[in-house]
Chain A
Amino acid sequence: MSVHNAAAPPGTEVKKRKKTFRLFPLWIVLLCMLPGILHYCIFRLYPSVMTAYYSFTDISGVPGTSWKFIGLANYKEFFILQNARDLKAALFRTVGYAFFVTIIQNAIALMLAVIVNSSFLKGRNFARGVYFMPVILGSAVVATIWKMIFSTPTGPIYLFMKNILQIPSPPSILSSRIYAFPAVIAAQIWQNMGYSMVIFLAALQGIDNSLYESASIDGASEWKMFTKITVPMIWSAVMINTLLAIIGSLQSYELIMTITRGNFNTSTLGMMAFATAFGGGGATASGGTISGLRQGYAAAESMVLFIGVLTATIVSQILMKRAEVEQ
């Protein structure tokens, strides 16, 4: 497997030494790999697997407290003992968040990717650069920007509603039980749209331009070219983007945590798991807090989320493969 005898002197000796000869001593190669492999096993694989184990315990985040194995009690509490309305609200919100983010983000990203890929458009590189920028800004910065834009009574959205839309007493968006959730979704899309767009752009650049030329000679409309050439040609990018958006938005809680802390009906399952484990608003669906940093219960919530993500991934892949065949 790892034999490179070009450097060895020619002759029969090579054959004998074939098994053991290496360009560089094996031990030093392995020694150099060791820190990375250890770190990966300790801080990536082990925690990942242990989440399942902890979900059957009542371990807490407070150091020095004893904990024990409690079987399925956490899951029972989550699915059965919990207020059914809370459970339903949390699950609906998690699915809704993922659904709207995935659909809207990818629709806008695809549309803008097609447009900024058009050769007639002036300043398309600038536009690409601008659309992608929030991706690097990070949740804390993006959250603060949107808190400011939505702030009351000096934020531009408030003033817009008051002075231009003539709404007498505009709601305070981010502390409204109705509007806070859509606002967080909008912020999430604003932050990540550029990411999806870049993936679409790469796929679009792989399409042979002669396809469009011959289609336009045949008199095809822009829309026809889009549905008959563009979409089928970039279907794999559509699948990747959908998958990434579903996985990302189901698990994502950074913006929820930084914008509303899960209050005002914005808490999703990911946010609930974080808040249950480490404190903060949004530990329950209605935004209240569970005291005591119940990390065993939070681990169970994480596991429910993980199963959900896995199911959504598989189902979406099957649906999209089927759509591909039908095209």
Chain B
Amino acid sequence: MGRNANPAFKVFCYVLVVLFLFIYLFPLFYIVNTSLKTSQDYLLHPTTLTSTFSISNFGVAWQKANFGTYIWNSVLYTAVCTLASLFMSVMIAFPISRRYIPASNFLHYLFLCGLFLPSGMIPTFQLILGAGLYNTRIGYMLVMTGVSATSVFFFTGYFRGIPRDLDEAAAIDGCGYLRYIISVVIPLSKPAIISMGMLSMIGVWNDIVNSTIYLTSESNYNITRGMFVFQGQYSNDWTLTAAALLIVAAPLILIYLFGQRYIVDGVMAGSVKG
């Protein structure tokens, strides 16, 4: 609606926007504020602004929640699952987009199925259990990796925009297929790779359901599960919980600040195709 909307309407809009900004920002502000308080200060004056700015909560939470181990697990899971998912999706999407293989239509529909079929949590569990991969990093990463229909369609659409002449030029010059994909196709599809990569990273980093199912020993926990268990154990000490929460959320917020556009693009792709 244009600039010449009537003033009462404008005021109404501002009021709503501010109200919802409050609903969205207050909880975050409250967490940051709490994480900077000492425990006594929080218990006596939970809602006042922090006067202590005690950053020691972060150190204590890091120690007590054993984040030193969990963060490396999370980094490993996130990196491996994201790279594997991206690689598999690109390798499937490229030939489909070019129709380089017989039955590319069939494959297209096969992946389309994935959008509608129910999730198979229980058979997946039985599969991992049967393979002896329960409570192992490998088993967990196998479950967390995935070629989603969304990413296949997103990449297929994107690759159609890369001129075929490049394929031909590369093939004439004797460039191998794998090298062509890695050194030409992937660099040319950076925005698509970043979008899908970020979505995958966010998904793996945030996972709580599969880490609850598949990771039983503490040495394998990801940081999200570590934070969740820590919150259960120290449920009365909200200052430590707030600090632990911010440690887990910090990378997400950083990714969001720098890659908001890519994330929104990726999310949109999923919704439109879905």
Interface residues of A (CB under 8 A from B): 1-2, 4, 6-7, 22-26, 28-30, 32-33, 35-37, 39-40, 42-51, 53-54, 59, 61, 63, 108, 111-112, 114-121, 123-124, 127, 129-141, 143-149, 151, 154-156, 159, 190, 195, 198-199, 202, 209, 212-213, 216, 222, 225, 240-241, 244, 251, 254, 257-258, 273-274, 277-278, 295, 298-299, 302-303, 305-306, 309
Contact = CB atoms under 8 A, between A and B. Distances in A.
A140 B206 contact: yes
A136 B202 CA distance: 6
Contact of B271 (A40, A137, A244, A305): A244
A177 to B, nearest CB: 20
B122 A148 contact: no
B68 interface: no
B114 interface: yes
Contacts of B17: 112, 115-116, 121, 123-124, 127
B122 A277 contact: yes
A222 B47 CA distance: 39
Contacts of B161: none
Contacts of B134: 63
Interface residues of B, number: 103
Interface of B: 1-6, 9-10, 13-14, 16-17, 20-21, 23-28, 30-31, 34, 42-43, 46-47, 87-89, 91-92, 95, 98-102, 104, 107, 110-111, 113-114, 117-127, 129, 134, 142-143, 145-147, 164, 167-168, 171-172, 176-178, 180-181, 202, 205-209, 212-213, 224-225, 227-228, 231, 238, 241-242, 245, 248-249, 252-253, 255-256, 260, 263-264, 267-268, 271-272, 274
Contacts of B95: 29, 33
| Residue among B121, B127, B181 with the highest chain A CB neighbour number at 10 A | B121
A257 to B, nearest CB: 7
Contacts of B245: 141, 144-145
B9 A138 contact: no
Q: Which 5 pairs, one residue from A and one from B, show the smallest C-beta to C-beta distance?
A: A47-B120, A138-B206, A36-B88, A50-B123, A47-B123
A135 B267 contact: yes
B123 to A, nearest CB: 4
Contact of B91 (A36, A63, A131, A295): A36
Contacts of B168: 4, 6-7, 23
Given A49-B120, A138-B202, A148-B238, 8 more contacts: A29-B100, A63-B129, A116-B17, A130-B24, A137-B249, A159-B47, A216-B2, A240-B274
Nearest to A34: B91
Contacts of A118: 1-2, 5, 13
Contact of A148 (B30, B205, B209): B30
A138 B225 CA distance: 12
Contacts of B213: 278
Contacts of B26: 156
Nearest to A195: B267
Contacts of A108: 20
B180 A258 contact: no
B30 A1 contact: no
Contacts of B263: 136
A24 B180 contact: yes
A166 B271 CA distance: 45
Nearest to B224: A140
Given A28-B178, A120-B10, A251 B100 contact: no
A35 B100 contact: no
Given A33-B92, A40-B111, A295-B126, A51 B268 contact: no
A115 B16 contact: yes
B264 A29 contact: no
A299 to B, nearest CB: 5
A25 to B, nearest CB: 7
A35 B87 CA distance: 9
A47 B241 contact: no
Main secondary structure of the interface of B (DSSP, over half): helix
A151 B231 CA distance: 13
A225 B2 CA distance: 11
Nearest to B230: A144
Contacts of B178: 28, 32
B2 A198 contact: no
Contact of A151 (B92, B102, B117, B238): B238
| Residue among A24, A53, A114 with the highest chain B CB neighbour number at 10 A | A24
Contacts of A139: 206, 208-209
A43 B124 contact: yes
Given A22-B100, A29-B177, A47-B121, A258 B208 contact: yes
| Residue among B26, B172, B248, B271 with the highest chain A CB neighbour number at 10 A | B271
A145 B202 contact: no
Given A36-B92, A131-B20, A43 B143 contact: yes
A264 to B, nearest CB: 16
Nearest to A123: B17
A56 to B, nearest CB: 13
Contacts of A254: 208-209
A141 B3 contact: no
Contacts of A130: 21, 24-25
A258 B202 CA distance: 18
A313 to B, nearest CB: 9
A7 B253 CA distance: 48
Contacts of A48: 117-120, 123
